[in-house]
Amino acid sequence: QQELVRSARCRHGAPCRWGSQFNVPPSAQFVARPVGVCSMMKLPMQASAEGLDAAFIGVPLDTGTSNRPGARFGPRQIRAESVMVRRYNASTRAAPFESLQVADIGDVNVNLYNLPDSCRLIRESYQKIVASGCVPLTLGGDHTITYPILQVVAEKHGPVGLVHVDAHTDTGDRALGEKIYHGTPFRRCVEEGLLDCSRVVQIGIRGSSYDPDPYKYCRDQGFRVVPAEECWRKSLVPLMGEVRTQMGDKPVYISFDIDGLDPAYAPGTGTPEIAGLTPVQALEIIRGCKGLNIVGCDLVEVAPMYDVSGNTALLGANLLFEMLCVLPGVKTR
């Protein structure tokens, strides 16, 4: 493997692969998939985001979960399954590794015993990432993590638009007396002015509720809520055309909870809901974000132990790759 990595140097001085000026995932034609450090897509590991256009970063936190724990192991398993993800997107012709400098910068060292302190640690880590001009692609972790991430993103870009895929709106106020957990991040974001509420869309929402009108809060803020029922048995390409118009050219953040997908496809999650989206629709949503001013993305709530096949994490790895492929500046071949 070392012989194949060679001694090429990229434009930022870090070792590059295959003689390219960019970091490129190794081909399984030359390096066996089980070989090497378990990084996202077997990309080089880097200690910081300096010199990167985009970076994969893990946030292994699940102390904000309300049902089944285990999302703390999501980043590790997503990385392991990502060996099946290759350099080019054959469907969209996207060539991210010929366009952007990308690496895996490891995990935020969260505090598993203190959720508010973990939020502080996430904020401090992302302040460095965002300040460097790098777009973060986050491997969660439960959905609590999106709150401190958006605090940092909005600090730089102002209130952002949000493409939110999920079974749940995550706009609760509190549970068991606590205001920070994975069911409240977007209410906290609204309260702090982190979201441009006229540019928020929530897709795939479904499930039973404790309230007869569970989406009232979201609609009162100006969110567009697209229940799963409105997505059944149809392509979401037309919807995403409307979403692109809604988002315009201002900054947009993508937050994708894996439980937005039907548990037949993604059983490895903590709060599954029946009758969800399909992987094809997930691709339509993310690919439909091409052309938007995307300033960050996350893929959350993968809890690997509830899916011994590894398919939930494999799906998560592919969706993160799709997010990378629609970032500004990615060329096509």
Cα(110)–Cα(59) distance, integer angstroms: 7
Cα(255)–Cα(258) distance, integer angstroms: 10
- Domain membership flag for residue 26: no
Q: What residue numbers does the annotated binding site cover?
A: 143, 166, 168, 170, 257, 259
Is the pLDDT assigned to residue 11 strictly greater than 60? no
Phi-psi region of 247 (alpha: psi -120 to 50; beta: other; left: phi over 0): alpha
Is the pLDDT assigned to residue 290 strictly greater than 70? yes
Show the beta-strand stretches assigned E in the chain: 54-59, 102-107, 135-140, 160-165, 195-205, 224-227, 251-257, 293-300
- Domain membership flag for residue 30: no
The tokens describing 69, both together, are: 């724990």
19 confidence band (pLDDT: 50, 70, 90): low
Cα(43)–Cα(313) distance, integer angstroms: 17
10 Å CB burial of residue 214 (0-12, 13-18, 19+) is: middle
pTM: 0.94
| Domain count for the chain | 1
Largest CA distance in the chain: 63
Cα(297)–Cα(252) distance, integer angstroms: 9
Mean pLDDT in residue range 123-144: 98
- Domain membership flag for residue 125: yes
Residue 15: what pLDDT?
45
Share of the chain above pLDDT 90, in %: 94
Is the pLDDT assigned to residue 3 strictly greater than 60? no
- Domain membership flag for residue 23: no
Q: Among all chains, which residue has been given the structure tokens 């090429």?
A: 8
pLDDT digits (tens, 9 = 90+) for 246-285: 999 999 999 999 999 999 999 999 999 999 999 999 999 9
Residue 20: what pLDDT?
85
Residue 168 near residue 66, CB atoms below 8 Å: no
Burial 258-296 (b: 16+ CB within 10 A, else e): bbbbbbebbbbbbbbbeebbbeebbbbbbbbbbebebbb
CATH code of the domain containing 191? 3.40.800.10
- Helices H, strands E: what count in the chain? 9, 8
- Domain membership flag for residue 22: no
- Domain membership flag for residue 1: no
Q: What residue numbers does the annotated binding site for Mn(2+) cover?
A: 143, 166, 168, 170, 257, 259
- Domain membership flag for residue 24: no
Give Cα separations from 269 to 73, 207, 213, 254, 307 (angstroms): 11, 15, 25, 19, 8
- The β-bridge partners of 59 are 140
SS3 67: coil
- Domain membership flag for residue 216: yes
pLDDT digits (tens, 9 = 90+) for 209-223: 999 999 999 999 999
Domain range spanning residue 130? 38-325
Residue 8: what pLDDT?
39
Residue 39: what pLDDT?
98
Mean pLDDT in residue range 225-243: 98
Residue 122: what pLDDT?
98
- The β-bridge partners of 201 are 163, 224
- The β-bridge partners of 232 are none
